[in-house]
Amino acid sequence: MKALDLLITDDDLVIDGINSAVLIDGAESVAQDIKHMIRESGLMVTMIGERSLIKRKTQCKNIAILIGKDPRIIPGTERVNEIKAGTLVIQAKLKD
């Protein structure tokens, strides 16, 4: 399953030097889709200002579960770690 998408940066479409939309594919496209999926889920909102390490880790697990539902991800390979407050590192293996 080949993923092809328009590149979005800072909530805006990225345009190249000849006023054409920049296209991305493969892992870049999946990563962008997952970023938007997490944002739209509202799971990150509950982490803002949360001081409880247990609750923050629970939200990371919930985000990993959400990522695992993407059909392009190999189930069980998704990992979400908070390296510092507000910064998550997400890893997963793609099927293709």
56-92 per-position pLDDT tens digit: 999 999 999 999 999 999 999 999 999 988 789 999 9
What is the structure's pLDDT at 41?
94
- Reported as a pLDDT band with limits 50, 70 and 90, residue 2 is low
Span 10-50, pLDDT tens digits: 889 999 999 999 999 989 999 999 999 999 999 988 888 88
Enumerate the β-bridge partners of residue 90: 80
Q: How far, in Å, CA of 45 to CA of 38, rounded?
A: 10
In a domain, 96, yes or no: no
User: What is the four-CA torsion angle of 23, 5, 73, 71, rounded to 10 degrees?
Assistant: -150
Note down the domain range covering 35.
4-91
In a domain, 29, yes or no: yes
In a domain, 18, yes or no: yes
The number of distinct structural domains making up the chain is: 1
What is the structure's pLDDT at 79?
96
pTM of the model: 0.83
